[in-house]
Structure 1
Amino acid sequence: MRVLLVEDDDMLGRAVRDALKDAACAADWVRDGAAALHAASTQHYDAVLLDLGLPRKDGMEVLRALRQRNDAVPVLVVTARDALLSRVEGLDAGADDYVLKPFDMPELLARLRAVVRRKGGTATPVLRSARLELDPATHEARMDGGPAVALSRREFALLQALMLRPGAILSRSELEDRVYGWGEEVESNAIEFLIHALRKKLGAEAIRNVRGAGWMVSKD
C-alpha cells in the first residue's frame, strides 16, 4: 500500500513515516500543500494522511482540489484543529476520516486500514480471495484455510497489493510502487524474489504468473 504523508512538522512527520514503513506501507512524505498536489497528480496512492495547517497551500485547499479533480483517493485528515466546525468542514469537503493530534500510532494505522478497506468495498478487516486470506493487522496469511504464516514487511506489502485487487494482473512496476517508497533502492529482481518467498511459505499456487504481463491472485 502506497501512502502520501503530508505533514510540515519534522519530528511528527519522521515518526509517522517510520511507523508507516514498519507497517509495510510505501510512504512518500511531503511538507507543504503544493508539493502534496503535485505528488498526487504524478503518483497513484492508496491513501493520503493530510495535515491541515500547511505552508504554501492549506490542507483544506488540498482536500478540495483533490475532490474537484475527481480524485477519490481515501484521505485521513490528521490535525490539531479540534473545533467541531472544523471537523464538519473537513468531512463535508471530502475527508474519509479525522484524527486529532496528539494521537496514538496504532489508532492512526487502524483508521488508515479502515478507510482503505472501505474504498475497496469490503467490510471485513481480513482480505480474502479464492484460496488466500490476509490479515492486515497481524501481517499473517493463510492458504486454503491452513495455518497462519507470518510475512515479512515487504512480503506483506506485495501480497496486500494483489489481494486488494483479486483477479487483476499487476505488472512489476505496479508492484514496485506498492512496496517501495521514494528513495528506496529497488533491485532488478526484487519482485521476483518476494514472490518466490511468498510461494515458498504459502504454496506455488498462491500467486499466478501471467507471462509477459505480471502477477495475480485468483478471485474465484
Structure 2
Amino acid sequence: MSARRADGNGVVVVGLGRFGSHLAGSLTRMDREVLAIDRNPDRVQRWSAQLDRVVQADSTEEGALRQLGVASFGRAVVAIGASVEASVLTVLALTELGLSQIWARATSQKHAKILSSVGAHHVIFPEAETGDRVAHLIVSRLLDFIEFDDDFAIATVRVPESLVGRTVLDLRPDDRYGVRVIGAKVPGERFRYASDSTKLTRGGLLVVEGGIDQVQRFAGIR
C-alpha cells in the first residue's frame, strides 16, 4: 500500500487505456492516492511499476469493488472506453457503494445520458474536448486554449508586436476587443495577475478571457 492515504481525497481510476493511464499517472504526480483497476492482466502488469496500486478486477461487480476498499475513496473516474455496458455497470456499482463524486467517460451523447441516469455526477468527452482545443490552436495564434460553457474561453497569447510598450489601461481590451487581460508574463519571469498598469513587453505572454470569437480575434492582432 502506498504511503499516501486513501482518506477521502484519493481517486479510483477504472480502466487503464490511453486516457485512464494518463489520468492515473497525472493524479499520482499530484501526490494523490490512486487505486487503478483494470480487468486486463497485461495492462495491470504494464502499469504496476508506475502507479502506486494497480489491481486486476471486474469493476462491474459491486462485491469486488467493496473488497478493494473502493468505498473509502472520495472520487472515482470510470475511464472505460471500449465497452459501453462495462462502463455503465461500473458506474452503477460505484453508485451502490455511495461514492460522492463519480466521473465517467462517454463515447456518445446516448452513452452520456445513460451514465447520468445510473448515477454519474460528471460525464466527460475527452476525445471531443481535446479535438476542439487542438482545432483552435491549429487555426489561430493561440498558445493554449480552454473552452467553457456559454461561449466563454480562457487563452494564452503572445503580446502582439503592435501593442508592445502599452499598458492594459492604454489598451482598454474590454472596450476594444471584448476580452479581459487577467495575467501577464515577462520573458524569464513567472505569470502575474494583470492590472491597469501592467505593461505589455516584447516576447511576453498574456492570459485573456472572453467570448470565443473575441479571444480568437484578439489572438490575431499583429
Interval of TM-score (by shorter of Structure 1 and Structure 2): 0.3 to 0.5
Larger strand percent: 2
- Which structure has the larger Rg over C-alpha atoms? 2
- TM-score, structure 2 normalization: 0.39
TM-score, normalization by structure 1: 0.39
